[in-house]
Structure 1
Amino acid sequence: MTSADPVSSRRDQALDWLMRVQQAPHDTQLRAQLAHWCASDVANVEAYGKAERIWRLTGQLAPSTAAQWPPAPAAKVVPLPTRTAPRRRWWLGAAVAACLLVAIAPTLSVRLQADYRTAQGETRDITLADGSVVQMDSDTAIAVDYAGSHRDVRLLAGQAFFKVMPDKAKPFHVRADAVRVTVTGTAFNVELRPGGVGVDVEHGSVRVDDTQRAQALASALSAGQRLRYVDGLVQVRSFQPSQAAAWRQGQLIADEATVAELVAELERYLPGKVVLRDQSLGEQRVTGVYDLRKPEAALSAVVRPHGGKVTAYGPWLVILSRP
């Protein structure tokens, strides 16, 4: 066996993965398997990146892939290098592999617990046994427990909008980490956020508790009120009820939100990991409306006013920084 054999074999494997993904672009299990293969060896990341470039140059890249990674003129796309200094090539490959592992591990854990889940860019409506409806956002997972005198839904990842059928004998609970939202009949959005939970009420009212600390966060959060519980701190603000769960219309509405908060929300709509390298950039405040159907372009629009730039290393790694 010659030394070229392993290289040829790895190239063939990469092309095989690429063709399988092109044939089934929405198969989340297949993409998870591909990510695992890439993460197992830095050379696999390089081989797959090279296969994608060859495929693109020969005009064979399917439109489905372009739709999942929409081009943004403001974003600089840097292909994985094939001929660079060994140290830099190792660093970049290791970074991509590490990001793949970070992205995959929580997904696999959530998948084992979830009754329903969505992939990146996918939304889904679920009608529960009592007629209540759950609208699930991108990269969201829930577990449902209807038994006896209770109706419980656990939000495992992402965010969801709930339209609850009234039943005073069976309160409806949404649990997100240690937070429990209790209702009898109303419409509201619950979101798992970095370090905490967000609750927006469109109509009706809900009670919000921290069950771990046995603490009431809001005894009656009513229509047009928004609660944010992050790092143990409670903030309640007013908003237009019509803007509740704006993601259902493909919009991300920011009102004096930090860049870091918006990055965390937009990351759910991208296939890979987004790294914010500048802490001061992440602390900047932003107000605006962004298109969730074009998440990379939205990232550029968020950071550009503060001197930030977006650099994408293929679909798996996006770095936000300032010169």
Structure 2
Amino acid sequence: MNVQDEVEEFQPSNAAEWFLVLRDDPDDAGLRARFELWLREKPERQREWAQIAHTMSVLRRVEPIQDTTSPVVLKYRAKGVRRRVVASLSFTAAAAVAGLIWGPDVLLCLRADHVTGRAETRTIALGDGTQIIMAPESALDTDDTKGQREVRLLKGEALFTVTHDAVHPFRVKAGSLTITDVGTVFDVKAGGAADVAVREGCVSIAHVASHDAPVLLNAGQVFQIKAGKGVTTTIAPQEVGLWAQGLYVAHSQPVSEVVGVLGHYMRGTVLVHGHGLGAETVSGLYKLSDARSALQTLADGQNARVWNVTSWLTILNR
């Protein structure tokens, strides 16, 4: 089937889809005429097309450097791209492009002993036998001086399998939380929605902003900060840190949230486009070790399409 047959079978319904079919057959006068007619029908389509076209023009200024052992690093093809991007793109597009170009925060990298990039996990073995598995786009600072077994999760997520030592307790600091091991396997997320989940054993959690006594968390429990207060919920213990085994379970979660998780395991940026698509809820088991196929499975279930604009930009739309 040629491009023309595909176009007649599939009629683009939004700017992202039109961009892709026009890119595949730029010299088709009939296709261009249908696009112009579609564009003139509604003013919001013109605004949507302007944003898509401008975003793509900025992305074309960036040249990917392929590396089989580390996440893709991008360099500038011309000076002044950063200033033009921030000044001219909408907030959403600018945020996506900025994350693609600059990657992990430079100051964060300077503070961390260990940093992972997009689509990268890393296992760290500490001197006491404790094992830490870092999720993609995470930053970790360790301190084992003077008998202090302390780790600061500055960004992202990590799974800890701790060698217990009652004399020298193992602590993890993540934002306002201090997690103290009581002989366990537990998962910690840092950031605005910091939380702790226990797979085995138990941990003690102190919240800096709270005057309450530390919370004792057992296997199958999750501690989260919501509206400044600590909330404890339950989870199947075997699901804690499942990402370290290359799997992700979604329980009635928004499409945008699931795509956000899958995006950490894919090279480049993944965007959700389409009225209401990001807010729809899904449940399922997704294979992070093949996140691109997992994204296609998600798309099939929502009657959506996965558009691979480039090797480092993917759009899920409907």
Flag whether TM exceeds 0.5 (same fold): yes
Aligned with 2:194: secondary structure? strand
Deviation at 1:155, TM superposition (A): 1.3
Deviation at 1:234, TM superposition (A): 4.5
Aligned with 1:185: secondary structure? coil
Q: 1:26 is matched with which residue?
A: 69
* Sequence identity (%): 29
Q: Indicate conservation of the 8 Å contact 2:187/2:241, yes or no.
A: yes
Tell me which moved more, 139-148 or 284-293.
139-148
Tell me which moved more, 240-249 or 276-285.
276-285
Unaligned runs of 5+ in 2: 1-59, 83-87
- The answer to whether residue 256 in structure 2 is matched with residue 260 in structure 1 is yes
Deviation at 1:264, TM superposition (A): 2.1
Task: Flag the 1:27–1:283 CA change in 2: closer, same or farther, 3 A.
Answer: closer
Instruction: Give the aligned residue type for 2:136.
Output: S
Aligned with 1:196: secondary structure? coil
Q: 1:154 is matched with which residue?
A: 152
Greater relative contact order: 1 or 2 (C-alpha under 8 angstroms, separation 6 or more)?
A: 1
Residues 42-81 of structure 1: per-residue CA shift (max 9 Å, x gap): 9xxxxxxxxxxxxxxxxxxxxxxxxxxxxxxxxxxxxxxx
Deviation at 1:278, TM superposition (A): 5.0
Aligned equivalents of 2:99 and 2:205: distance in 1? 31
Aligned equivalents of 1:233 and 1:297: distance in 2? 38
Unaligned runs of 5+ in 1: 1-13, 43-89
Instruction: Give the aligned residue type for 2:150.
Output: D
Of 284, 291, 295 in structure 1, the residue corresponding to residue 291 of structure 2 is 295
Of 222, 228, 247 in structure 1, the residue corresponding to residue 243 of structure 2 is 247
Q: Indicate conservation of the 8 Å contact 2:142/2:152, yes or no.
A: yes
TM-score by length of 1: 0.66
Deviation at 1:40, TM superposition (A): 4.8
Q: 2:134 is matched with which residue?
A: 136
Task: Flag the 1:196–1:242 CA change in 2: closer, same or farther, 3 A.
Answer: same
Of 188, 198, 216 in structure 1, the residue corresponding to residue 195 of structure 2 is 198
Aligned-pair Cα RMSD in Å: 3.5
Task: Flag the 1:294–1:218 CA change in 2: closer, same or farther, 3 A.
Answer: farther
Of 188, 207, 212 in structure 2, the residue corresponding to residue 210 of structure 1 is 207
- The answer to whether residue 175 in structure 2 is matched with residue 177 in structure 1 is yes
How many residues of Structure 1 are paired with residues of Structure 2 in the alignment? 255
Deviation at 1:110, TM superposition (A): 2.8
Q: Indicate conservation of the 8 Å contact 2:70/2:120, yes or no.
A: no
Aligned with 1:106: secondary structure? coil
TM-score by length of 2: 0.67
Task: Flag the 1:168–1:105 CA change in 2: closer, same or farther, 3 A.
Answer: same
Instruction: Give the aligned residue type for 1:148.
Output: K
Q: Indicate conservation of the 8 Å contact 1:96/1:317, yes or no.
A: no
Of 270, 284, 300 in structure 1, the residue corresponding to residue 266 of structure 2 is 270
Higher CA-based Rg: 2
